[in-house]
Structure 1
Amino acid sequence: MVFPDTEDAAVEMDAERYREIEAQYWHEVAGNLPDERVVRLEGLGTDVRLLEIGEGQPLLFIHGGPNAGSTWAPLVGELPGFRCIMIDRPGCGLSTPARNAPKAVRRFMADLVAALLVEVEPSPVGLVASSFGSFAVLSHAVARPDTVPPTVHCGCPALVPGSKAPLRFLLQSVPGLRSVLLRLEPPNLKTAKATFRRIGHSKAMDAASIPEIGFHWYAALLEHTRTRENDLALFGRVRPRDALSPSELGRVSSPMSFFWGSDDTFGGPETARTLAEMIPGAGLELSNDSGHLPWMDTPAAAARHVQEFMATATRS
């Protein structure tokens, strides 16, 4: 089944312009451009774009949404010693929508992780995920507990106990309301900055801790790709049965750790502590005054968390 964006056709793809601003973002925050290639996930009917940079142990990065692989640039720029492989999820960035996706959103996301772990070379020794990407990893870990590499979750995963999306995101996911609300928030720099404030990054923005180019990149993602429309259509298909329960999370056997912003509007410190207690052996580090994408506020601290966790987890 396709997760299309048939309700709003205002945004036209302009891959050339998107790549231009994306390259500026990478140069400024990471000092170099990643390599690019495409992996075909035949079972899901999608061509997934991969960005790769660095040398060393391969880590696979799975973003939330609406977002794309280059969201990880500030973190990757602080991770020497790793081969960082970032995907644009199907329908996001410059990846094509999944034309054979299962109707059930949880199964689709679990199948996506399963396919990536088979098709991505070199095989990742660890995962780094965020938000809906974390939901994908946890969904696969629940379905096949012994097949998921050690994972760092950055920020509150979607659809876990205690998590909640800001009201604006929920309303934008409702068919019928989506096109109206998107017209009220056109794809531009103002909307990009409003989105970051909505998810808990106001303190870092007020302190100018997040480079301005990051907001320009996100505005380009909204303006020149179909990411927002495609992901909101996907989120609109989420049903209560897709949520992960405490008993399911208690079966997760892969090593996992959380790097979580204290101002994350999807779930605060109490949600973080409760979730970490549900997953056997999970670690937790709270990042003070950080939002839903905590590596944007404190990339060096997020990188230390990833390095220290992977150094231990990949040896065991």
Structure 2
Amino acid sequence: MTDDPSAYRRAEQALWQQYGLDPDEQFLDFTAGGGRVRVQSVDEGPPVVFVHGNPNAGAIWAPLVAHLAGRPAGLRCVLIDRPGCGLSEPLRRIIPPETLGAELLRVVMDGLNLPRAAIVASSLGGALAYPFAEAWPKHVTDPVPVGCGRSLRKCRCRRTAQGRATPRGAGRAAQSGHLSWLDSSAIHARLIRSFLA
């Protein structure tokens, strides 16, 4: 959590305004971690939950969300501030990463009444998202890794809840170090839409 929440909010609001977005904000009790997590939602439509890497916060996805939300057939983009990041409270208990990820995503999905959603994760966010996808595959329509580590490529969850295989070419492109999603949001938006098609 930031040392100056009001300054953080001002900077984040400027970022959202740059992309013409105004997310809704919710704080959810994360009892496993002993605090609250902040979640922002943009638009309506099929839900996509975004789990950021380290050391940033959910708003890091703003350039990509701008390409996915607010259009015909838009997506409901749900952005998590992981515990201790953005405006989420830090963990007050030690939790193994697998448990942390599975519980965090369960709290978000239940708290927002999302029976199923695609999960987009980058970097360390993948280490949190994949345990959830493996533990509760019926709640994940599509796992979408973006720049996740090598160990996540071996994740057992190779098929979606709908029984479709994750597009391997898209997965390799998203996982490669050659795509910087900050610089190529439109490319990644197309990539994510291809996973969800």
TM interval, shorter chain, is 0.7 to 0.9
* Partner amino acid, structure 2, of 1:33: D
The structure with the largest alpha-carbon Rg is: 1
Is 1:18 the counterpart of 2:18? The answer is no
Distance 1:38 1:105, change over 3 A: same
Distance 1:139 1:12, change over 3 A: closer
**Contact 1:53-1:85 within 8 A present in 2 as well:** yes
User: Distance between the aligned counterparts of 1:58 and 1:145, measured in 2?
Assistant: 15
User: Distance between the aligned counterparts of 2:153 and 2:2, measured in 1?
Assistant: 38
* Partner amino acid, structure 2, of 1:46: G
> Residue 134 of structure 1 aligns with which residue?
126
Report which of the two has the higher share of strand. Answer: 2
Deviations 1:113-168 (A, max 9, x none): 2333332334442111111111112223344554433121111x24x43xxxxxxx
Q: Secondary structure at the match of 1:74?
A: helix
Q: CA deviation at 1:43?
A: 2.8
User: Distance between the aligned counterparts of 1:39 and 1:16, measured in 2?
Assistant: 20
Q: Secondary structure at the match of 1:40?
A: strand
User: Distance between the aligned counterparts of 1:99 and 1:128, measured in 2?
Assistant: 26
In structure 1, runs of 5+ residues without a counterpart are: 1-10, 162-243, 257-279, 312-316
Is 1:105 the counterpart of 2:10? The answer is no
Q: CA deviation at 1:46?
A: 2.0
User: Distance between the aligned counterparts of 1:153 and 1:298, measured in 2?
Assistant: 15
Matches within 5 A, 1:43-54: 43-54=32-43
Is 1:83 the counterpart of 2:55? The answer is no
Percent identity, aligned pairs only, is: 34
Which structure has more RCO (C-alpha within 8 Å, separation ≥ 6)? 1
In structure 2, runs of 5+ residues without a counterpart are: none
User: Distance between the aligned counterparts of 2:133 and 2:76, measured in 1?
Assistant: 23
Q: CA deviation at 1:99?
A: 2.0
* RMSD of aligned Cα (Å): 2.7
> Residue 62 of structure 2 aligns with which residue?
73
Provide TM-score, normalisation by structure 2. Answer: 0.81
User: Distance between the aligned counterparts of 1:12 and 1:57, measured in 2?
Assistant: 31
Provide TM-score, normalisation by structure 1. Answer: 0.53
Is 1:255 the counterpart of 2:141? The answer is no
